[in-house]
Amino acid sequence: MGDGGAAGLRSGQVAAAAGVNPQTLRYYERRGLLDRPVRTPGGHRVYPPETVTLLRVIKTAQRLGFSLDEVAALLEPGTRHRRPARRPGPGGRDGTRADLAGSARAKLAEVEARIEELAAVAATLRSALAAGCDDLVACSAEPACPLPFPAPQSPSARPAR
């Protein structure tokens, strides 16, 4: 490489190959998702080539809705030397690595629930468009308004302080 012959990829190369920002590498290092890279005599960070694959796995898991904490729990032991502290994780039986199938089932249930919520929102918006609602305040006063405004409470129905 010209900087002591260290085998591997520099930060910019890894970031470009994985489609992430170079600052993402340092953030993931701080979070314990990536091992700290070796440094060349010139101070450049040098990552092993498999870091690109690991970054792609992390980004794919995020696109599937997993948080970084969930991704950390899902990563196989041995993919990085610095493991986060043992903690209960989604699907993890002993607080270390989570079970992928269990985590995927739980995430799928979350996604399906969110899809149902969004379908209800879409149906309400379609109803509002079909009803010709063009003013929220005026629409809220109409009995036929399809928008789910909360029912007004009488002063006696309000909870006491």
> Do 78 and 62 reside in the same domain of the chain?
yes
Q: What is the pLDDT of residues 98-107, one digit of tens each?
A: 688 899 999 9
User: Which residue type does 99 have?
Assistant: D
> Do 12 and 79 reside in the same domain of the chain?
yes
> Do 77 and 22 reside in the same domain of the chain?
yes
Q: Estimate to the nearest angstrom the gap between the alpha carbon of 148 and the chain centroid.
A: 30
Q: Is residue 61 part of a domain?
A: yes
| Measured distance CA(67)–CA(4) in Å, rounded | 38
User: Which residue type does 87 have?
Assistant: R
pLDDT at 76: 65
How many domains does one find in the chain?
A: 2
Q: What is the pLDDT of residues 27-40, one digit of tens each?
A: 999 999 999 999 99
Q: What's the pTM?
A: 0.66
Distance linking the first and last C-alpha atoms of the chain:
71
> Do 103 and 88 reside in the same domain of the chain?
no
Mean pLDDT of 35-46: 93
| Measured distance CA(37)–CA(133) in Å, rounded | 58
